[in-house]
């Protein structure tokens, strides 16, 4: 656009110079053909001025659009910075490879990683331990107020984190060889095995004793209320039997 304006401006300057020379010569009587040439130059100059005005108009419109785009970009940048500075403490963060040599999975590749493939990972990788997904804000807002009480969004997800801590600690023990465990861990390993049933095969669950063993959470009335909220959000279900309540991860 700037090149176009410069070209038109150059043409206008040339025409004005040509007209100036003709005016300088007008002190003498010009032949008919010179008068005709003068008229043509004036007509050309008029057309060039019109084109110049159009280019200026286009430049103004483009500048207006650029300013609007800049304002929109600045607003998006402020929103992103706000999100970056206010990441919830419970949100999982991607861990960088320890040696920096492992490739990072692209988003498109992650989308192609289907549940069937995940099942294969579970079967082949004994160290895999499933965790409960954190509750999203829309899910939290969908919980009836009588069920939420005074429990906040952060408190709910803090409990999710505690349950995940208990699940991880429990199944790390179960995935180890009994010979490598100390006496206390061996007793826990046996207790975990005794609590399993045909209905828990292939599932991940904890009981209240696991919560007490591996976290600082008290399995009190408030904790039971939070479990009801997690059931409402389809994060777990209860399986009773043998005098135990098993909290099964969904």
For the chain, the structural domain boundaries read: 2-76, 128-249
Residue 205 has pLDDT above 90, yes or no: yes
**pLDDT at residue 106, as a whole number:** 44
Q: What is the pLDDT of residues 95-118, one digit of tens each?
A: 444 444 444 444 444 444 344 444
| pLDDT over threshold 50, residue 40 | yes
pLDDT-derived band at 22 (thresholds 50, 70, 90) equals low
| pLDDT class of 74 with cuts at 50, 70, 90 | confident
Question: What percent of the chain is modeled with pLDDT above 90?
Answer: 38
Better pLDDT: 93 or 208 = 208
Of residues 26 and 148, more confidently modeled = 148
Distance of alpha carbon 175 from alpha carbon 192, whole angstroms = 11
Most confident of the following: 3-7, 105-109, 131-135: 131-135
User: Beta partners for 206?
Assistant: 247
Residue 170: what pLDDT?
93
Mean pLDDT of 70-93: 74
Worst-scoring range by mean pLDDT, 6-10, 13-17, 89-93? 89-93
Which candidate, 12, 3, 2, places its Cα nearest to that of 51? Answer: 12
Work out whether strand 244-249 and strand 205-206 pair parallel, antiparallel, or are unpaired.
antiparallel
Q: Where are the alpha helices (DSSP H) in 125-247?
A: 137-142, 145-148, 153-174, 183-195, 208-214, 221-232
* Separation between Cα atoms, residue 231 and residue 60, nearest integer Å: 59
Q: What is the Rg, in whole angstroms, of the alpha carbon atoms belonging to the chain?
A: 38
| The pLDDT of residue 76 | 84
* Each residue's pLDDT tens digit, 216-231: 888 888 899 999 999 9
What would the CATH number be for the domain defined by 128-249? 1.10.10.1890
What would the two tokens of residue 139 be?
């899910």
The pTM score is 0.52
Least confident range from 25-39, 83-97, 98-112, 233-247: namely 98-112
3-state secondary structure of 97: coil
């Amino acid at each position: 656009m700037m090149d176009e304006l410069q070209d038109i401006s150059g043409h206008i300057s040339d025409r004005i110079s040509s007209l100036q020379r003709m005016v300088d010569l007008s002190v003498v009587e010009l032949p008919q053909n010179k008068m005709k040439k003068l008229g043509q130059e004036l007509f050309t100059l008029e057309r060039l001025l019109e084109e110049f005005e159009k280019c200026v108009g286009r430049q103004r419109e483009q500048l207006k659009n650029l300013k609007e785009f800049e304002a929109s970009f600045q607003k998006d940048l402020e929103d992103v910075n706000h999100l970056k500075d206010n990441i919830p403490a419970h949100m999982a963060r991607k861990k960088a490879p320890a040696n920096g040599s492992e490739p990072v999975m692209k988003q498109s590749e992650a989308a192609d990683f289907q549940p069937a493939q995940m099942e294969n990972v579970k079967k082949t990788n004994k160290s895999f331990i499933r965790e409960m997904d954190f509750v999203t804000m829309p899910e939290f807002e969908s919980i009836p107020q009588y069920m939420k009480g005074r429990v906040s969004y952060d408190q709910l997800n803090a409990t999710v984190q505690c349950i995940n801590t208990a699940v991880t600690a429990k199944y790390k023990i179960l995935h180890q060889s009994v010979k490598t465990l100390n006496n206390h861990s061996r007793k826990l390993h046996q207790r975990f095995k005794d609590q399993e049933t045909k209905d828990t095969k292939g599932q991940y669950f904890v009981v209240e004793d696991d919560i007490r063993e591996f976290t600082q959470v008290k399995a009190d009335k408030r904790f039971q209320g939070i479990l009801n909220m997690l059931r409402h959000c389809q994060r777990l279900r209860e399986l009773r039997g043998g005098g135990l309540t098993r909290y099964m991860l969904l």
